[in-house]
A and B are shown apart, each in its own frame.
Chain A
């Protein structure tokens, strides 16, 4: 048994309960909106009512004069840098001369009650001089630039393989993905408290404390150390809390008024105030032999980045590098353009660029199967990547890649029986009971997805953690943002397992310790988990040194495991060895370096990859356009499972978001305006829409570079579940359905057109 496996014999690999679980079920857990301090003011944001306009005049005088108003601030009141951004500072803290999207912040107010805040915001007069907005992403590059940085956010080209290629069959299609929202349950909220030294302490639910700190300090024009960010309870995130929303406004208000200020978005403002998943238009051509072996893939992909850059560049990279899916592609010609428009800004959402292209490449694989007379599983099997193969980036697929096993196990899993009941919940349309059983068509669809783990393309991506040890108690300090994923559990499991102590405390996440990086890109178990493991390993070195000195033996002869140290002539419990001494170690974990792509999109761009497969079974009433998703079966490449219940929870939850994108979720944007910014109009799956998930197998092939071999598991469930459902609906109806979400209207419209 190796050292790694030995450790897994302990707490790792078991379903340890969440340390915050009791507080959460009893309503005692403090989410960001539950924070209040005496004497605090309330904040609010004035947002642009138009998609694109010059600002002739902003008159805040009436608002300022209102009793109870403590401050009204706008662009002129930003003492530091006027622009911020996660990757590129291109977004104004407040619009100065021009607004570029509906919802862009123009001013902010602090007052003694929320009512006065609302009234004051209404008294701010903004004189817009409207401009013709750019709202069609396909026309953005030929339009006049709407920003000094231009309308191209990033172009990514992948050119691999020889110019010449042969083929027997070609299939093509144009696919599109609508704008999905993360729709986390807890709207944005923060509490900023002015500090004695002229700085500020911000309690906010975020995905990356240090990225917030950096952007806040720059815009406030104060030292980094004067901004202290504390993670407040986060009601979900899914990418939407990676960018700054209210952080800078709130800190400005607190410093301006000298008072604590709380700012909470309602649901509508939440839809306006954070980035969304990029809508995509994707033209594909797959060339293959008559037997279905791919010889070349060509794709042109346009991503609508909206008004500001956010993480569009990285999303575009993912869309390009994972454009073809987990298949051997001898020749690839991929062009991705992420463009700027006057639509709402888009950025990170679970799956990050790979979701969109997965829908396209898997749709293409099904077309190829049909053209070659093959089963959908068979055509995929004939093209699968294996460990050691080259990706379209030229990078070798190193590390475990059990894709064939994922597909084989999924393909042979038993199918659910045909629906024979006519109860209120067993037919498409549910309790409405408008469908007759004889009109119901059953469909089955498959999809495979892949994505990288951790940040890519040469980004310096690290995580710091500190672990201290007193007696039998370990205390972890990490800035890793807990957003519901269960890091708090896994962190304690790791420290407990490595150090062999039963009592582990995780301190609140703050910027007092080094950066943990972002809770995104399926990276924290690997990165912050690795940092905790590294700190614990260093503590063991210190423990052995201590024992060697105390018992006067060479350190090489000292062993440590399970909370006791032993060697020639001694065997001592950790608590007795330490007595009242405290040991401490801070560790920075870096994954192996990656490189930026060359002009052909080639290079070792990624650290590691994860794969998943999904099979969807649906019942459809094509005439009425009603869909019932009967079952989703999945297999996933997980490396090693550290907490089985949490792993399944991530998989079920990720699939539910894929269900949403497949059949119901889309922000409808007309002339730059979101038409459905509410839970009444933006529908996410309920317990009646979400099918049972059959986890056929979680394939454990430990990754040699990962702490304990564990791969991130958060994103793969969201990547290919959407494509599998779309395939199943096509299988049931025979319709082309090139866009997700596939709404009832879409099915009925295609059924009319094609029927």
Chain B
């Protein structure tokens, strides 16, 4: 391994990856080096949540994670569905309840809701908790109304 190489597991697949430049973010690594464009770039300040991924089991803004810090780490992105041609419960809920308009924030929101469900499996989830869980994900189209419906629907489905 050279100084600029890391070993990273993305969506279950371990691979070597090259750091293209000092300061490269995980977001850039995913989008520009690995071609995983489902993770979106909208602010690069960790404010909008469009680049939300699971980083070693924790929800994170990929724009705030240094790629160089990802050595031996595990990342899950929106592309990590149950199977390539199948939507997960959260994705299906977003699609079927009208929570998608332009769709730019959707991958990040799906990751946030997946995280909420996995953190609180089995326990009752109040509306305020859902609002809090997605408050790091900006959406400019929906006003969050249908997103909350989708999240509640996904939570019920996953019980």
Contacts and interface: CB of A to CB of B under 8 A. Distances in A.
Interface of A: 15, 17-18, 20-22, 24-31, 33-34, 115, 182-187, 233-238, 266-267, 423-426, 431, 483-486, 645-646, 648-649, 652-657, 659, 678-680, 684-688, 690, 692-693
A686 B138 contact: yes
Contact of A687 (B38, B39, B81, B134): B134
A186 B42 contact: yes
Given A26-B78, A185-B140, A238-B140, A686 B135 contact: yes
Given A34-B37, A679-B47, A693-B143, A25 B110 contact: yes
A678 B45 contact: yes
A27 B135 CA distance: 20
B96 interface: yes
B42 to A, nearest CB: 5
Nearest to B146: A649
Most interface-central of B42, B96, B132 (chain A CB within 10 A)? B42
A424 to B, nearest CB: 8
Contact of B42 (A26, A187, A423, A657): A187
Contacts of B42: 185-187, 235, 267, 679
B101 interface: yes
Interface residues of B, number: 54
Instruction: Please list the 8 inter-chain residue pairs (A to B) with the smallest Cβ-Cβ separation, ordered nearest first.
Output: A27-B38, A484-B102, A24-B103, A235-B104, A656-B143, A652-B143, A645-B98, A652-B145
B143 A236 contact: no
Per DSSP, chain B at the interface is: loop
Interface string B133-159: 011111111111111100000000000
A721 to B, nearest CB: 10
Nearest to B46: A680
Contacts of B140: 182-185, 236, 238, 653, 656-657, 684
Most interface-central of A27, A186, A678 (chain B CB within 10 A)? A27
Interface string B117-133: 00000000000101110
Per DSSP, chain A at the interface is: loop
24 contacts: A24-B95, A24-B103, A25-B87, A25-B95, A27-B77, A33-B40, A185-B42, A185-B50, A186-B102, A235-B102, A484-B103, A645-B97, A649-B98, A652-B142, A653-B101, A653-B140, A653-B143, A656-B143, A678-B45, A680-B47, A687-B131, A687-B135, A688-B135, A693-B143
Nearest to A29: B103
Nearest to A646: B98
A186 B95 contact: no
A375 B128 CA distance: 34
B29 interface: no
A380 B34 CA distance: 59
Contacts of A28: 38
B131 A425 contact: yes
Nearest to B151: A687
Interface string B77-98: 1110100000100011011111
B44 A266 contact: yes
B6 interface: no
A24 B100 CA distance: 7
Given A235-B42, A687-B135, A115 B91 contact: no
Contacts of A30: 37
Given A186-B40, A655-B143, A679 B138 contact: yes
Contact of B95 (A18, A187, A684): A18
A639 to B, nearest CB: 20
B137 A26 contact: no
A483 B102 contact: yes
A25 B145 contact: no
Contacts of A21: 94-95, 100, 103
Most interface-central of B47, B128, B141, B142 (chain A CB within 10 A)? B141
Given A27-B107, A236-B102, A423-B128, A649 B142 contact: yes
B145 A693 contact: yes
A691 B148 CA distance: 12
A687 B147 contact: yes
Given A21-B100, A25-B87, A685-B143, 15 more contacts: A20-B103, A25-B103, A25-B107, A27-B79, A27-B107, A31-B40, A184-B102, A185-B50, A185-B104, A267-B45, A425-B131, A484-B101, A652-B146, A655-B143, A656-B142
Contacts of A187: 41-42
Contact of A645 (B79, B103, B134, B146): B146
Contacts of B104: 31, 184-186, 235-236
Contacts of A688: 131-132, 135
Nearest to A632: B143
B128 A25 contact: no
A277 to B, nearest CB: 14
A22 to B, nearest CB: 6
A686 B135 CA distance: 5
Contacts of B87: 22, 25-26
Contact of B48 (A185, A233, A234, A425): A185
A33 B147 CA distance: 24
Contacts of A652: 142-146
Contacts of B130: 687
Most interface-central of B36, B44, B77 (chain A CB within 10 A)? B44
Interface string B100-116: 11111111001000000
B94 A425 contact: no
Contacts of B98: 15, 17-18, 645-646, 648-649
Contact of B142 (A22, A266, A653): A653
A27 B39 contact: yes
Contacts of B21: 115
B100 A25 contact: yes
A31 B37 CA distance: 9
Nearest to A686: B135
A115 B21 CA distance: 9
Contact of B100 (A18, A186, A424, A679): A18
Contact of A649 (B48, B91, B110, B145): B145
Given A185-B48, A687-B144, A22 B102 contact: no
